[in-house]
Amino acid sequence: MCLSTNHKFLVVLGRPGSGCTTLLKTLANRRSEYHAITGDVYYDSLTPSQIRQMYRGDVQYCPEDDILFPTLTVDSTVHFAAQTRAPQPRIENQTRREYTRLITDVYTTIFGLSHVKGTLVGDAAIRGVSGGEKKRVSISETLATRSLITSWDKQVSFLPTPSLILTYSSPAQRKVWMPLQPSNLLVLSVLPQISYMSRP
Which residues, in sequence order, are CB contacts of 129 under 8 Å at separation 6+? 74, 116, 119, 120, 121, 122, 137
Nearest to 31 by CA among 193, 155, 151: 151
For residue 116, what pLDDT is reported?
93
CB 188 within 8 A of CB 11: yes
Going from N- to C-terminal start, the domains of the chain cover 9-197
Strand partners of residue 60: 150
For residue 120, what pLDDT is reported?
95
Mean pLDDT of the chain: 76
Q: For 183-193, what is each residue's pLDDT tens digit?
A: 443 344 444 45
Is the pLDDT at 171 greater than 50? The verdict is: no
For residue 170, what pLDDT is reported?
41
Q: For 21-49, what is each residue's pLDDT tens digit?
A: 888 888 888 888 888 888 888 888 888 88
CB 197 within 8 A of CB 18: yes
Superfamily of domain 9-197: P-loop containing nucleotide triphosphate hydrolases (3.40.50.300)
